[in-house]
Amino acid sequence: MKTDIPLGIVGTGMFIFGLMLFYLINPEENRGLEFIKNIGTFVGLSGIGVTLAGILLYLINRNDSPIKENYDV
């Protein structure tokens, strides 16, 4: 099952959503929003990890042709 491309897309979306939560919330106006800003930090960092996992799965599961050595001399 090919999960590498969707995993990369989901991770990128998580990262962007985390950035939006982190930068668009101003906790000085409402102290209750500080917790949501911290959740945005966690989601963004988790998104980086999920994206990296998707990239690694893509690189590992590529179908490279096996090396054929010719020993005819």
* 29 domain-assigned: yes
Residue at 73 is within a domain: no
Q: Residue 34 pLDDT more than 70?
A: yes
- The closest alpha carbon to 61, from 11, 10, 4, 12, belongs to 4
What integer pLDDT is reported at residue 16 of this predicted model? 93
In a domain, 68, yes or no: no
pLDDT higher at 31 or 18 = 18
pLDDT at position 59 over 90: no
- Domain assignment present for 69: no
Q: How many distinct structural domains can be found in the chain?
A: 1
pLDDT-based confidence at residue 15 (cuts at 50, 70, 90): very high
Instruction: Indicate whether 48 belongs to any domain.
Output: yes
- The beta-carbon contacts of 56-62 under 8 Å, at least 24 apart in sequence, are 57/3, 57/4, 57/7, 58/4, 58/5, 58/8, 61/2, 61/4
The answer as to whether 70 is a domain residue is no
* Domain that includes residue 50, residue range: 4-60
